[in-house]
């Protein structure tokens, strides 16, 4: 058994290095996927926000047109209080739409950042795994050399 020990130890050392490299690759792949998902989520949020803004604007335009039609059918001329009302309605609608767009942009940015932070954490973990594997390999090689000194090699 003793003559086989250097080969067993060397195989164990090689497998340890291989395992660390593979784990590091898997962590990097997971980090890349997290980043991709973050970008995809952000794009989906932006698309949803644009569609929501489009629908909101259409509803607002209908509301304003209805208010103007009611005013016109009542025989009142647009001016004074009615004009102020319509102006305030338009202003409120514009603020509401701007808030919707800003809110959607913020949610999209946060989704992308979240994916980026998750990816950065994964990449750091991959580097740590690889470094730990290399460190362990060095330690194992030193132990192998010390154990075999005088027995397996001069």
**pLDDT, tens digit (0-9, with 9 covering 90-100), for 105-141:** 999 999 999 988 888 888 888 888 888 877 777 777 7
Query: What is the model's pLDDT at position 18?
Result: 84
Residue 97 lies in a domain: yes
Task: Please answer whether residues 82 and 71 qualify as being in contact, where contact means their C-beta atoms are separated by less than 8 angstroms.
Answer: yes
Residue 9 lies in a domain: no
- Quick one: average pLDDT of 12-16? 78
Q: What's the mean pLDDT when you consider all of the chain?
A: 83
Reported as a pLDDT band with limits 50, 70 and 90, residue 42 is very high
Residue 120 lies in a domain: yes
Q: Is 8 exposed, middle or buried (0-12, 13-18, 19+ CB in 10 A)?
A: exposed
CA 61 to chain centre: 36
Residue 129 lies in a domain: yes
- Quick one: average pLDDT of 68-78? 74
Task: Please answer whether residues 96 and 56 qualify as being in contact, where contact means their C-beta atoms are separated by less than 8 angstroms.
Answer: yes
Task: Please answer whether residues 15 and 103 qualify as being in contact, where contact means their C-beta atoms are separated by less than 8 angstroms.
Answer: no
- Percent of residues, the chain, with pLDDT higher than 70: 83
Residue 134 lies in a domain: yes
Query: What is the model's pLDDT at position 11?
Result: 78
Query: What is the model's pLDDT at position 125?
Result: 86
Total of domains in the chain: 1
Kindly calculate the radius of gyration of the chain based on its CA atoms and give it in whole angstroms: 33
Identify which of 20, 3, 41 has the alpha carbon closest to the alpha carbon of residue 134: 20
Residue 3 lies in a domain: no
Q: Is the pLDDT of residue 149 over 70?
A: no
Residue 127 lies in a domain: yes
* Residues of the domain holding 52: 33-145
- Quick one: average pLDDT of 54-82? 82
Residue 6 lies in a domain: no
DSSP-assigned letter for residue 151:
T
Reported as a pLDDT band with limits 50, 70 and 90, residue 55 is very high
- Quick one: average pLDDT of 49-68? 92
Q: Between 135 and 78, name the one with better pLDDT.
A: 135
């Amino acid at each position: 058994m003793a003559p086989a020990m250097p080969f067993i130890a060397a195989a164990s050392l090689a497998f340890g290095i291989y395992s660390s490299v593979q784990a590091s690759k898997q962590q990097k792949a997971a980090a890349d996927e997290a980043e991709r998902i973050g970008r995809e989520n952000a794009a989906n949020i932006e698309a949803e926000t644009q569609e929501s803004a489009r629908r909101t604007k259409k509803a607002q335009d209908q509301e304003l047109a209805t208010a103007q039609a009611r005013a016109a059918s009542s025989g009142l001329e647009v001016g004074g209080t009615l004009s102020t009302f319509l102006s305030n309605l338009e202003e409120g609608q514009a603020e509401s739409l701007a808030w919707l767009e800003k809110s959607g942009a913020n949610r999209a940015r946060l989704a992308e950042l979240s994916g980026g932070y998750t990816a950065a954490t994964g990449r750091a973990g991959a580097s740590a795994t690889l470094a730990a594997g290399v460190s362990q390999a060095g330690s194992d090689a030193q132990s192998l050399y010390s154990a075999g000194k005088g027995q397996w090699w001069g």
